[in-house]
Amino acid sequence: MTRLMLDYLYDHESTRAQQVYLTQPLGGGQARDYTWAQVMSEARKMAAHLRTLGLSPGDKVAMLSKNCAHFFIAEIAIWMAGYTTVAIFPTEGPDTIRFVLEHSDSKVLFVGKLDNWASQAPGVPAHLKRIAFPLGPKSDDAGDKWDDLVAKTAPLDGKPARDPKDLAMIIYTSGSTGQPKGVMHSFERATEATRRIVERIKLGDGDRALSYLPLAHIFERAYIECASMLTGGAHIFFAESLETFVADLKRAHPTLFLSVPRLWLKFQQGVFTKLPPQRLDLLLKLPIIKGLISKKVLTGLGLDAVRLAGSGSAPIPAELIAWYRRLGLNLLEGYAMTEDFAVSHLSTETLNAPGYVGVPYPGVDVKITEEGEVLIKSPGTMVGYYKRPDLDAEAFSADGFFRTGDKGERRPDGLLKLTGRVKELFKTAKGKYVSPAPIENKLNEHALIELSCVSGVGQPSAFAMVVLAEDIRKTQTSPETRARVEKELGEWLKQVNAGLSAYEQLQMLIVMPGPWTIEEGTLTPTMKLKRAKIEALIGPKQEGWFANSAPVQWA
């Protein structure tokens, strides 16, 4: 019989009992280690408690929490007790929280580490049973305390098994457009997909990773949580807060580090505040000191022990990958979706190129339609969308390939290049389709730009809104900074336009007054642009921008 995730966990419980698996910061520079024996003991006790709540096999149990040790422990407990997990992004507002809880038919909610529980609590139906993680809110509305429950509950005995077809989890997409959709993954497909990931990234004994990207998203869930559960040999650390991130990273001293393009860009811009890009490039061209400089930069970032760095969730500028590789960081781009359990494409040591998202995983089939859409058939393909068979019919081709919605091109060696989203294409008044993502990627290569959004539906030409790098934003109202920005970005606009077709060229760059954020709804929890929201906010201003002939303007 095929081994499933729980079988691996029971093995670790017996063979790695005293090995530290999780390290949770507690504040004040303190941290607590959890061995495999402690993780499984707490999971068994919570599983036993869940079984006293009158749930039926397969019922949904939700988690609303930032990354922490008890997210892992609770997921194991839910599986062991016979239920299905539903994780909610910890930054979601009350309306989305209520939608996910009600749509998923969740019967229990674990409330964990959160920044703003008081504003989120109204989104939780009053009747829903709640249990608070040890680092969760201390208020009574967060529910019974985890520590109190496990202290008085006997552990669940034996090795409770799950049917391969049982649902392990429902992952709600972060919703860059419309309502979140519940992607269903069974134990057999989640386990098989995780096996493929572990084989490709060679995760094993001695590896260390910092878990900080949202565990409600498939990227972190598959590559960090599930992969570490399957292998048993990796040591997972957590971050306490944004303010302690550098210290948390240095505590972990990771050998595997995953991030998203926006954060890779912020790391680079942080380096540039200490060492201007022109000077750094010059130093990296000097053979005698290149190694010393690279080591110093990577040590300053806390990444000097990293053997494999990954970027996913959104396209990353090719020049940014090339910059990290010049430093000696093995940064590889990948491409996957919630719907294929993150098993689609990943660069390898021999098959990689800046601007390409890698080659297919073994067992993954790829097709490109006549319209350029990428179709994928993966061992990790979802069971379907929860309660939405209508969407299942739209999502799959007649021969079982998932329609990704991404446009792409493949080289003969299998490397895939993404050229935009099918649904993000827009027409200007010139009547031809513009694909914003490749233009944004090029714009984001400039050191002054943190993020950009290309727009122009029905307008005379396309244009781009840009958010300045964090260190520049601090002084962006000063005349000196504005003069510098207008000069440098004006030159950059000409350079970018020179590489575009006439109908794609940008009329202007609009500098936004502040960053786009998750809280205001202009970014998803995984830091993807919410284009519709951004365009709705700037709609009335566009006429004035086009009436102004300046190539760089201030919103």
Do 30 and 135 fall within a single domain? Answer: yes
Domain end call among 238, 263, 295: 238
Is the domain of 401 the same as that of 468? no
Q: At what angle do helices 36-50 and 5-15 cross, to 10 degrees?
A: 130
The backbone region for 387, taken as left when phi is positive above 0, alpha when psi lies in -120 to 50, beta otherwise, is left
* Residue 77 belongs to a domain: yes
Q: What is the number of structural domains in the chain?
A: 3
Q: What is the CATH number of the domain that holds 112?
A: 3.40.50.980
Residues 376 and 461 both lie in one domain:
no
Do 436 and 488 fall within a single domain? yes
Residue 219 lies in a domain: yes
Flag whether 267 is in a domain.
Answer: no
CATH number for 410 = 2.30.38.10
Q: How many CB atoms lie within 10 A of CB 399?
A: 9
Residue 498 inside a domain? The answer is: yes
Residues 399, 366 share a domain = yes
Q: Are residues 404 and 383 in the same domain?
A: yes
Yes or no: say if 101 and 109 are a contact pair by the CB < 8 Å rule. yes
Residue 332 domain-assigned? no
**Is 347 inside any structural domain?**
no
Range of the domain at 210: 5-238
Burial classification of residue 246, based on how many CB atoms lie within 10 Å of its CB (0-12 exposed, 13-18 middle, 19 or more buried): middle
Say yes or no: 380 and 432 in one domain: no
Model's pTM, two decimal places? Answer: 0.84
Task: Give dist(CA 324, CA 259) in Å, integer.
Answer: 13
Does residue 249 fall inside a structural domain? Answer: no
State the CATH number of the domain containing residue 456.
3.30.300.30
What pLDDT shows up at residue 88?
A: 96
**What is the reported pLDDT for 178?**
64
Determine the pLDDT at residue 352.
87
Of the candidates 238, 260, 280, which is a domain's last residue? 238
11 shares a domain with 59: yes
H or E element that contains 237: strand 235-238
Nearest to 463 by CA among 476, 450, 473, 454: 454
Decide which of 218, 238, 258 is a domain's last residue: 238
What pLDDT does residue 174 have?
A: 65
Q: Residue 1: its pLDDT value, please?
A: 61
Shared-domain flag, residues 373 and 440: no
> 246 lies in a domain?
no
Task: Count Cβ atoms below 10 Å from residue 474 Cβ, excluding itself.
Answer: 11
Beta strands at 60-64 and 84-88: parallel, antiparallel or unpaired: parallel
Statement to judge: residues 18 and 161 lie in one domain: yes
Tell whether 116 and 219 lie within a shared domain: yes
Q: Which residues, in sequence order, are bridge partners of residue 385?
A: 183
d(CA 516, CA 470): 12
pLDDT in tens, the chain (555 residues): 689 999 999 999 999 999 999 999 998 889 999 999 999 999 999 999 999 999 999 999 999 999 999 999 999 999 999 999 999 999 998 999 999 999 999 999 999 999 999 999 999 999 999 999 999 999 999 999 999 999 999 999 999 999 999 999 999 986 555 678 999 999 999 999 999 999 999 999 999 999 999 999 999 999 999 999 999 999 999 999 988 998 999 999 999 999 988 889 888 988 888 888 888 888 888 888 888 999 999 998 899 999 999 988 777 888 888 899 889 998 889 999 999 999 999 998 889 887 889 999 999 999 999 888 999 999 999 999 999 998 898 899 999 999 998 889 999 999 999 888 887 878 787 777 788 888 998 898 898 999 999 998 888 889 999 999 988 898 988 999 999 999 999 999 999 999 888 888 999 999 999 999 888 888 888 778 888 888 888 888 888 898 888 999 999
Q: Please check whether residues 18 and 82 belong to one and the same domain.
A: yes
Q: Structure tokens of 228?
A: 């570490």
Q: Please report the DSSP string for 45-113 in residue order.
A: HHHHHHTTTTPPTT-EEEEE--S-HHHHHHHHHHHHHT-EEEEE-TT--HHHHHHHHHHTTEEEEEE-S
